Amino acid sequence: MEKKREMFAGENGLQGDPRLKAISEAIRVVPHFPKQGIMFQDITTLLLDHKAFKDTVDIFVDRYRDMGISVVAGVEARGFMFGPSIALAIGAKFVPLRKPKKLPGEVISEAYVLEYGTDRLEMHVGAVQPGERALVIDDLIATGGTLCAAIKLLERVGAEVVECACVIGLPEAKGQCRLNGKPLYILVEPRKWQCMTCQSGWFYVALLAAYELMNLLSIGKSTTILDGICAMQQWGHCTKKGEGM
């Protein structure tokens, strides 16, 4: 049986570590952004929390300090938010992997498939030397397509990719094997957003009681309350696909 390649921090050496809970709670969920049905994992609020941000970097640094890594490659754009701090702490250089036409020098590129169409990652020629040991960092993994492109890009210049690391891993990442056999280290699963009815059944009960009371009093407001209840029922189960920032 093939060994799983993904490793959630809470299941591998950091069970019960309160830092993971604090990191998760510092991430804001923005419902229906950038489009309907997306539960956006916004890490900008994590960056605003000094302790949670430091804990995030420290966990990665503790893991990679003694692995002989000389390159930390950050995937545009949110890999840039964590990669440089990790690189400085472990004594490695930081190499940005950018979208097309963002780097000024000579580049090599690698295409990857999106849900609709394709995109590319680019890296400066000469930024990474053959035989160097590399870590790839990004904020979130969903399908793994971007990280696979990063791995291929580094391997094309002769680097050894030791591991890929992400702050957030969607449930779809568990057991997935699109990372070219490279291990994947994830700190937390995505936070779930719940609507008002999910958070408090009592609020829903109170609305129903108000609706019945208005009917009894015949004050002519029942349609508005009923419309509100119907709308809440439609949004009653709101946790869907996540994306990150």
**What residue has token string 């990669």?**
83
Q: Any catalytic annotation for residue 155? A: no
Q: How far apart are CA 26 and CA 138, in angstroms?
A: 17
Which of 5, 63, 78, 191 is catalytic? The answer is 78
Q: How many C-beta neighbours within 10 Å does residue 93 have?
A: 16
> Whole-angstrom distance between the N-terminal and C-terminal Cα of the chain?
35
Half-sphere exposure of 209 (CA within 13 A, CB side): 6
Q: Are the C-beta atoms of residues 40 and 29 closer than 8 Å to each other?
A: yes
Q: Any catalytic annotation for residue 65? A: no
Q: How far apart are CA 121 and CA 123, in angstroms?
A: 7
Query: In terms of C-beta density within 10 A (0-12 exposed, 13-18 middle, 19 or more buried), how is residue 26 classed?
Result: buried
> Residue 140: which residues within 8 A CB-CB, separation 6 or more?
41, 43, 78, 166, 167, 168, 169, 170, 190, 242, 243, 244
Q: Which residues are tagged catalytic?
A: 78, 115
